[in-house]
Amino acid sequence: MNVVVTGLGCVTPVGADVESTWAALQAGTSGVRGIDRFDASAFDTRFAAQMPSLPPVERWDLEPWRQADLVDRKTHLLLVAAQQALAQSGIDARGPRVGVCIGSEGGRKLLERVAVRAAEHHGEPTLERAAGMLPPGELARSRPGHPARVLASLVGAEGPTRTVATACTSAGGAIAEALYLLRAGHVDAVLAGGTDTLVEAFMVSGFSLLGALSTRNDDPQGASRPFDRHRDGFVLGEGAGLLVLEREDHARARGANVLGRLLGAGLSNNAYRITDSPPDGTGPLVSMTAALRDAGIGPQDVGYINAHGTSTAMNDLSETRGIRRAFGPHADRLVVSSTKSMIGHLVAACGAVEAVVTLMSLRDGVVHPTLNLTTPDPDCDLDCVPGEARAVPGLSVAISNAFGFGGSNASLVLGRA
């Protein structure tokens, strides 16, 4: 069963849609700047990759949803990406043969309430008690599946609705789930992607306490530097991405324009530490080799890898070693770059946005640079495209990687239209 892409949408810190994001990435434009959405002056990290503004959602009347307090920032971003993808695809998403698979995280408001109550009363309130403090709309929005349910309701999709909440691999896992549903014949089309908004005081504070964030406050745009010797942590971001995936026979029958192909997916778990990637790259190795096997291709068929590339010491090293083990001698002929160097880490959304970017590379035969890669780490010895975008003539197959906090991994194999 061949699966094709007929619609793309995204909203990122460097662009309000796919084409503007793609142009900014090719130009090496950073979306990282000082945080202005809340007072971060007391935090060790005072910058992030923020949306300059929220593009409007015009496809649906959201007023009833807003009155019920059911459209938060995360859901809004997903709907922006969805309206773009649906307009490009031209698909009628109504009915039982269309599914929705979205990567999204939830529960942050509950945890924030617990933390606040504990600080105020020196107690240990439970999640159940915290949930009781939330208004109904806020309680609904705190659940990971909320954005997917809103999207499905607005478009009239009556097929399976899935939410994947596996941290940084959420969107990659959601796209893989969509692939499996399509191949099994359960649906003809799936709206698949992810959304997340990490530029919140609670999240910046939490990741700062973990020591995971860059503290390059005097140079925010130089802070995200994947595979660079002087990297000191990742940068939080926000955004959303969506792909309209269809069975090829269904897309052809309705005269749809095919933008690319989803050839295969591979999922794995590190079975290692919760906060670290395995130094030998085993988890990434398993997901990439599984994706190649699922796509029915060999390592030599891949020309580009859109790396997870977080700008953390262990993750970059683990991914490099995983790629070398998965691709053998062909690893020296691969072109690799990290989108996170410019838009930060979108966590639950990164797998979708980076899949969109990978499809744009396949369309144009161009790979965007890895920003801030000025002193390559000798242990991260792949061709990571420092400096400026690069033309890659004949590029036809690429991999998009997402490796998650907690140990989950997702690799997608994408092909040119």
Q: Which of 308, 350, 380, 384 is catalytic?
A: 308
Is 168 one of the annotated active-site residues of the chain?
yes
Three-class DSSP category at 132: helix
**Do 19 and 32 meet the contact criterion of CB atoms below 8 Å apart?**
no
CB atoms within 10 A of CB 198: 26
SS3 214: coil
Q: Which of 10, 101, 168, 384 is catalytic?
A: 168
Torsion angle, CA of 9/13/16/19, rounded to 10 degrees? -70
Type of residue numbered 381? D
Residue 266: name the closest of 287, 293, 297, 292 by CA.
Answer: 287
And the tokens for 278? 């395995």
Which H or E element spans position 326?
helix 313-327
Beta strands in 248-311 (DSSP E): 260-269, 304-306
- Which listed residue (76, 250, 345, 368) is catalytic? 345
Among 28, 103, 134, 37, smallest CA distance to 352 is for: 103
Q: Strand, coil or helix: what is 76?
A: helix
Which phi-psi region, left, alpha or beta, contains residue 66 (left: φ > 0; alpha: ψ -120 to 50)? Answer: alpha
- The reply to whether 308 belongs to the active site is yes
Q: Are 267 and 173 in contact (CB under 8 A)?
A: yes
User: Which two three-digit tokens encode residue 276?
Assistant: 């670290």
Cα–Cα distance between 412 and 139 in angstroms, integer?
Answer: 33
The distance of Cα 268 from the centroid of its chain, to the nearest Å, equals 17
Q: Residue 164: in which H helix or E strand, if any?
A: strand 161-164
Task: Give the dihedral sign, CA 125/130/131/133.
Answer: positive
Phi, psi dihedral angles at 170 (to 5 degrees): -55, -55
The answer to whether residue 345 is catalytic is yes
Identity (one letter) of the amino acid at 101? C
Q: Which positions are annotated as active-site residues?
A: 168, 308, 345
